[in-house]
Amino acid sequence: MDGDAAWRALLERRPDQAGPLAPLYAPLLAPPEAEDGCFLLGRIAQSLDGRIATANGASRWISGAEDIIHTHRLRALFDAIVVGAGTVAADDPQLTTREVAGPSPVRVVIDTDRRLDAGRRVFREGPRTLLVCAEDAGTGDRLGLAEILRVKRDGRRCDAAAIVTALAARGLRRIFIEGGGITVSRFLAAGLLDRLHVTVAPLLLGSGISSFALPEVATPRDGLRLDWRVFPLGRDLLLDIPLGRARPACCA
């Protein structure tokens, strides 16, 4: 089976016919096991020393071309793609599936206090966009082309569980948390991720922005010990990590 045929099978939700792509992508198409009926995948691309960007925020490109294609494939398999305001401010991404066949998901930007302006590409062009903010943040029901979705606060940030509930109410139950590291960490800390994909590139940065932002632990045994399967993506390695909504003990 060629790659195009395998990919078409996945787009048609026939993972049993996806040949070499099935081991990596089939688990993402399985029926949700969580009680809320949703499936959430987190995604990180990092250097060998655990950085997702340099100290000044530059992240293009830590991983290689194969990993970019993988990310676009993930987008095509989900109802919604979620990013934080920091990612939009730093990269001004399009968040589409332009590198592969398949539909672009609804784009969801979390901007708790509505600090982003309407000039960003996700608010001016492309697929449908939702801007998630706190209930008390600003006025109006749109920012550019984006519809405002208000949820309750959890301290200084939007409540992660409330975001999932609000998206599910709109029929968006397959949710891809693409970044950045703080946003992925928030959903991990809340025990909301069913699976995690971490790509490790053969690159040393020495300093920069860490992949995950979680509370400190006293000893290694206090951390969250994980299982994984490893898939090569060109020169990079993809770690496929089943979480099953596991929550780090330090976040309980």
Query: What is the spatial distance between Cα 69 and Cα 74, in angstroms, rounded to a whole number?
Result: 9
Query: What is the spatial distance between Cα 75 and Cα 41, in angstroms, rounded to a whole number?
Result: 11
Show the beta-strand stretches assigned E in 48-168: 51-53, 80-84, 106-110, 129-134, 142-143, 146-151, 153-154, 157-158
> pLDDT tens digits for 154-190?
888 999 999 999 999 999 999 999 988 999 999 999 9
Specify whether the CB–CB gap between 23 and 42 falls below 8 A: no
Question: Which pLDDT band holds residue 84 (cuts at 50, 70, 90)?
Answer: very high
CATH number of 135's domain:
3.40.430.10
Question: Which pLDDT band holds residue 2 (cuts at 50, 70, 90)?
Answer: low
Vertex 52 angle, CA 48 and 56, to 5°:
120
User: What's the Cα-to-Cα distance from 122 to each of 90, 106, 135, rounded to whole Å?
Assistant: 13, 10, 21
Query: What percent of the chain is modeled with pLDDT above 70?
Result: 99
> pLDDT tens digits for 38-67?
999 999 999 999 999 988 888 888 999 999
Is 23 a domain residue?
A: no
- pLDDT at residue number 210: 92
Is 101 a domain residue?
A: yes
User: What's the Cα-to-Cα distance from 181 to each of 1, 10, 17, 50, 156, rounded to whole Å?
Assistant: 36, 28, 34, 11, 17
In the chain, the number of structural domains is: 1
Is 18 a domain residue?
A: no
Return the residue matching tokens 């530059």.
58
- pLDDT at residue number 55: 87
Q: Which domain holds residue 236?
A: 34-204+224-245
Q: Tell whether the model's pLDDT for residue 245 goes beyond 50.
A: yes
> pLDDT tens digits for 186-218?
999 999 999 999 999 999 999 999 999 888 888
Tokens representing 128? 């449908």
Question: Which pLDDT band holds residue 1 (cuts at 50, 70, 90)?
Answer: very low
Tokens representing 27? 């688990």
Query: What is the spatial distance between Cα 9 and Cα 16, in angstroms, rounded to a whole number?
Result: 8
Is 113 a domain residue?
A: yes
Report the number of secondary-structure helices (H) and strands (E) in the chain.
7, 14
- pLDDT at residue number 79: 97
- pLDDT at residue number 138: 79
Is 106 a domain residue?
A: yes
Q: For strand 39-47 and strand 174-179, is the pairing parallel, antiparallel, or unpaired?
A: parallel
Is 22 a domain residue?
A: no
Is 252 a domain residue?
A: no
Mean pLDDT across the chain: 93
Is 12 a domain residue?
A: no
| Encoded amino acid at 103, one letter | P
Is the whole model's pTM more than 0.75, yes or no? yes
- pLDDT at residue number 222: 87
